[in-house]
Amino acid sequence: MLECRSIVKTYSKGATEEIKVLSNLNLKIDLGEIVALKGSSGTGKTTLLNLISGLDYPSSGDVVFRNKIITNQNTSQLSLFRRNHIGIVFQFFNLINDLTTLENICLPLIIRGQNKSLAMSQGLQLATSFELDSKINHPVQLLSGGEAQRVSVARAMITNPDLILADEPTGNLDSTNANLVIDCLINQCKKNNTSLFLVTHNESILSKFDRVLHLENGTIS
């Protein structure tokens, strides 16, 4: 389903210096597989998710999605690829402040051109399962960090994507809400045969995953 082949990612630091964040990284995730990624701060976890989702390009190596190399696609092809196949939970949410909770959750469906009232009723179901039903008409800038985090997870799930990439989706949640979000995410992935690749520092949720990987020294073990 997803394969990273010999990925290298360097960033330039100043005019002459470069830092190599990922070096010869290989990764395979099967259809429907639920995989966690651990690693210290600054090891390149967010960098890796950005490469898989086509938000950034590797310095060398290929990202392969359903046997198709995506690394050689241009930015508009990649944005279509994300819209059709990927759900992303960003580390810092990236919600649209001027929209309400429900509008943010439904946005990926609206962008796909789905009927608005149908989109809203699907969004309402997800809002309810994340205990956000009392907040659906709130502008998202008035939500707490944990509520905003739940909105960002619901938004990533609403299109039933083939792959969900989640960057520390429980970082702002207490353990009850962390379990609520992770259980809901994993249940939906299992039901739809969606693959999940989730970055976390939360040791208490790791037993829920099929595999736990570790990013260290630019590569995965």
Radius of gyration of the chain (CA): 17
CB 195, CB 164: distance < 8 Å: yes
Two tokens, residue 164 = 């969900």
* Touching Mg ion, residues 79-108 (CB under 5 A): 91
**Residue 161 lies near ligand ATP (rule: CB under 6 A):** no
Two tokens, residue 79 = 């944005």
- Rounded distance, CA 141 to CA 148, Å? 8
Considering the complex, what minimum distance in angstroms separates the CB of residue 46 from ligand ATP? 3
Closest CA to 159 of 96, 99, 84: 84
DSSP 74: -
Side-chain half-sphere of 219: how many Cα atoms within 13 Å? 8
**Residue 202 lies near Mg ion (rule: CB under 5 A):** no
* Touching ligand ATP, residues 73-92 (CB under 6 A): 91
Considering the complex, what minimum distance in angstroms separates the CB of residue 44 from ligand ATP? 4
Please pick, from the candidates 6, 11, 142, 204, the single residue that binds ligand ATP as defined by CB under 6 A: 11
CA distances to 7, 15, 157, 167 from 70, in Å: 13, 29, 22, 21
Stretch that binds ligand ATP, among 45-53, 112-120, 175-183, 204-212 (CB under 6 A): 45-53
Query: Residue 68 or residue 201: which is nearer to ligand ATP going by CB?
Result: 201
Of these partners, Mg ion, ligand ATP, none, which one is at the site of residue 11 (CB under 5 to 8 Å by kind)? ligand ATP
**Residue 46 lies near Mg ion (rule: CB under 5 A):** yes
In terms of phi and psi (left: phi > 0; alpha: psi -120 to 50; beta: otherwise), the region of 23 is beta
Considering the complex, what minimum distance in angstroms separates the CB of residue 218 from ligand ATP? 10
Two tokens, residue 16 = 């002459």
Please pick, from the candidates 7, 27, 44, 163, the single residue that binds ligand ATP as defined by CB under 6 A: 44
**Residue 39 lies near ligand ATP (rule: CB under 6 A):** yes
Side-chain half-sphere of 16: how many Cα atoms within 13 Å? 0
* Touching ligand ATP, residues 93-122 (CB under 6 A): none
Query: Residue 119 or residue 173: which is nearer to ligand ATP going by CB?
Result: 173
- Contacts with ligand ATP by CB under 6 A lie at 11, 21, 39, 41-47, 91
